[in-house]
Structures are given as C-alpha cells and as structure tokens.
Amino acid sequence: MGLEDLLPPFFATKLQTLLNWSRKNSLWPMPFGTACCAIELMSTLSSRYDLSRFGAEVLRFSPRQSDLLIVGGRVCVKMMPVLQKIYLQMPEPKWVVSMGACASCGGVFDTYTMIQGVDQFIPVDIYIPGCPPRPENVIDALQMLQEQIGSGKK
Amino acid sequence: MSEEKKDVESNDEKSSDFDIDPNPKQEWQTREKVMAEKVAERFELDAPVVFRGQYEFTVEASRIVQILRELKEDEEFAFNRLTDVTAVDYLKLEGYEERFAVLYFIYSYEHKTHLRLRVWVDEDDPRLPTVSGVFGAANWGEREVYDMFGLEFIGHPNLERILLPTNFGSFPLRKDYPLRGRGERDDFPRLRRGEKEDL
C-alpha cells in the first residue's frame, strides 16, 4: 500500500503504556450472572450490541483465564463465599464490574439473605446503575474501565 | 354494550367459589366429603375444618406416622402422594393451641381426593416424629421446615439445612425473626485489592 514507506520502522513508548494499551483492548470477562442482569449481559455480547467491537469478546467461565469479573444479579448469603473464591482465583491484574442495582446495593431485596452491595466484600471498579441496565450502559462501563486501565489509574 | 357488561358481571358472581354449598352439588365436592367422613370414622378424629370444599383434620403428633402410613397403604384410602409438608408460626395470635403447626398435604391418585393433616407443635419443645419413612417426599420437605422454622423431626435420616448455608444461625420464617436478619448478610471477610489466594 505504500504506507510503510511513510512511517518509521519503529515507534517509541513506555513499557507500562504498552502493557496498559494491550490490557485494555483484550479484556477477558468472567460473567458471574445470577439473575436478569445476566440476560442483559448476553444481549450485550450477542450480535446486535456486540461487545467484541470493544475488545472484550472472549467470555470465560473459568476465573483462572479471565481478568474482568462482571457481577450481574442478586448475590445471596450462600453465594458470597463462592464469589469471593472466584475473585481470589482470578490472576492479577483484575477488575470488577458491579452490574445493576442488586449487585451494587441489594436493589429492592432488603432482606436477611441478600448481600447489600458486593462492594462491601470485594473491591469494585465500575458500578452500572439500572434494573437491569441497558446494553449501552454495559458498553459505556466497559469503555470507562478501558479508559482507566489505559491511563494507568487502575 | 350495557347489556353485555351486565352479563359479564352476573357470570362473575356465579363463578365465585367463595361460598361453597354445604350440600355439595359438584362431583368432586361429594368425593372429598365422602372420603373425609371415612377418614374421620376410621381414625376417630375430631370434626374437620372445611374451607372451599377442602378438609383438614387435626392429629396428635404421636399418631401422625401411623395415620399417614395407613392412609397410604390401605386401599380404601390410597393416599399415595405427599404433595407438601410445611409449617405455620402463630406467634402471639390468640385462639390457637400451640405456636407452631405442621401441615401435611396428601392426595390420592386412585380416588382423586385431597386431605390435609395438622399437627400442633409446642414452642418450648419443638419436636415431632418424621414421616420420611412413610413418604420419601417428606425428606426434603421436613428439612425445609427445619431450615425455616427450627422444628426438629425425630428419626429423620439427614436433618440438615436445605436452602440456607449450614452455618446460618437462625430460623428466618419464625415471626420473631427480623426481615433484615440478625447480621448474617454482613458477616463476611472483606477482600482487599491485590489479596492473594490462600492455596
């Protein structure tokens, strides 16, 4: 194409910038879907909204192979130890998205067995409001997270 | 239009099943009544509570296993399905014998009749015999009653919590248990960023 002649055969950057750039564009989400948010997450991943356009298409149900934990749905007292174990099993660096009202604050389920926000017990990077959130909200959250990863804040 | 509306209203009144005729006209109501009379006679039970054509007998806890076994195995009754085992907490409600009641819902495929048995359970000694030896379906039902109400079923093969985590300390369907719990939902270790897995 002739473009190669115009560009220098190398470019200079910082190693950390390169790492962040590659990390932010190859997120491997691990869905922790326990309720209707997971349905909306599936919609986000499928052809109409197509999350893979933003570099996060490889969904892994194995925490050892993923670096983005998406908690979508109600987390109950019996599920919280499982969620913590999954969080610990994920390799560093890792990020957590709390998707929807229930995961973020318990939603309307203010009862004895519902965790009132997973951020009480695991670190959360991005919260998505909504019940359930629209796929656009999920994409927006992913891009916010990518921005933060790219700038080295997270 | 107005005539049509009137027709609909009158139909609604007819189809309401809140007032069941004490002298049943429909076939299923007769069936239930005949069966209830037979059961009462056989086991010398007190008069049943009748609601919407359904019959409920109160039984002493010491007799429940034997009565259920006979109701199941005797061909005259053939109540071969235990639909549900559940319990009610009548805390501070007046007019009831004890605080707890355990209810057994049984059904006969052969005679197409339902029956409900009620056992009162004392608050201070919440124990009663298991019927899981008669109906296998009672196994999980009784575990659920234990999980939610803390009633102990003597002789149950595996009386553990079935829905809640095993270390959950309370019985949440008791009426004196607060809706938001007693701090069970806040009782977890707080993980920090960069925390390593404990292998």
Handedness of CA A95, A69, A48, A25 (dihedral sign): positive
CATH code for B20-181? 3.30.460.80
Per the model's pLDDT, the better-predicted residue between B130 and A92 turns out to be B130
User: A114 and chain B: CB distance < 8 Å anywhere?
Assistant: yes
**CA B113, CA B101: separation in Å to the nearest integer?**
22
Q: What is the pLDDT of residues A89-133, one digit of tens each?
A: 999 889 999 999 999 998 899 999 999 999 999 999 999 999 999
Work out the mean pLDDT of chain B and round it to a whole number.
Answer: 85
User: B196 and chain A: CB distance < 8 Å anywhere?
Assistant: yes
Give which of A25, A23, A22, A19 is closest to A55, Cα–Cα: A25
Q: Compare CB distances from B195 to A77, A88, A110 and report the shortest one's residue.
A: A88
**CA A5, CA A12: separation in Å to the nearest integer?**
18
Q: Which residues in chain B are closer than 8 Å to A111, comparing Cβ atoms?
A: 179-181
Q: Which residues in chain B are closer than 8 Å to A120, comparing Cβ atoms?
A: 186, 188, 190
Contact A103, A73 (CB under 8 A): yes
Q: What is the pLDDT of residues B42-65, one digit of tens each?
A: 898 888 888 888 899 999 999 999
- Please enumerate in sequence order all residues whose Cβ is within 8 A of that of B48, keeping only pairs 6 or more positions apart, or say none: B36, B40, B55, B56, B57
Closest chain B residue to the Cα of A89, Cα to Cα: B197
Ramachandran region, residue B46 (left: φ > 0; alpha: ψ -120 to 50; beta: rest)? beta
Q: Which residues in chain B are closer than 8 Å to A81, comparing Cβ atoms?
A: 165, 188
The H or E element containing residue B140 is helix B138-149
Per the model's pLDDT, the better-predicted residue between B21 and A33 turns out to be A33
**CA B7, CA A114: separation in Å to the nearest integer?**
48
| A111–B184 C-beta distance less than 8 A | no
**CA A29, CA A126: separation in Å to the nearest integer?**
14
DSSP state, A106? Answer: -
In the CATH scheme, what architecture does the domain A28-150 have?
3-Layer(aba) Sandwich (3.40)
| B188–A121 C-beta distance less than 8 A | yes
Residue A18 has pLDDT above 90, yes or no: no
Q: Of A1-5, B108-112, B113-117, where does mean pLDDT reach its minimum?
A: A1-5
| A116–B181 C-beta distance less than 8 A | no
Write down the pLDDT at residue B31. 87
Domain ranges across chain B: 20-181
Give the gap in angstroms from C-alpha A122 to the nearest C-alpha of chain B: 5
User: A120 and chain B: CB distance < 8 Å anywhere?
Assistant: yes
ipTM of the complex as predicted: 0.79
Give which of A141, A124, A129, A131 is closest to A69, Cα–Cα: A124
User: B94 and chain A: CB distance < 8 Å anywhere?
Assistant: no
Q: Which of B163, B191, B192, B198 to mutate to test the interface with A (most CBs of A within 10 A)?
A: B191
**CA A1, CA A4: separation in Å to the nearest integer?**
7
Grouping H, G, I as helix, E, B as strand and the rest as coil, residue B83 is: strand
Grouping H, G, I as helix, E, B as strand and the rest as coil, residue B50 is: strand
Q: Compare CB distances from A121 to B170, B178, B191 and report the shortest one's residue.
A: B191
Grouping H, G, I as helix, E, B as strand and the rest as coil, residue A30 is: strand
Q: Pairing state of beta strands B81-89 and A126-128?
A: unpaired
Q: Compare CB distances from B185 to A89, A115, A122 and report the shortest one's residue.
A: A115
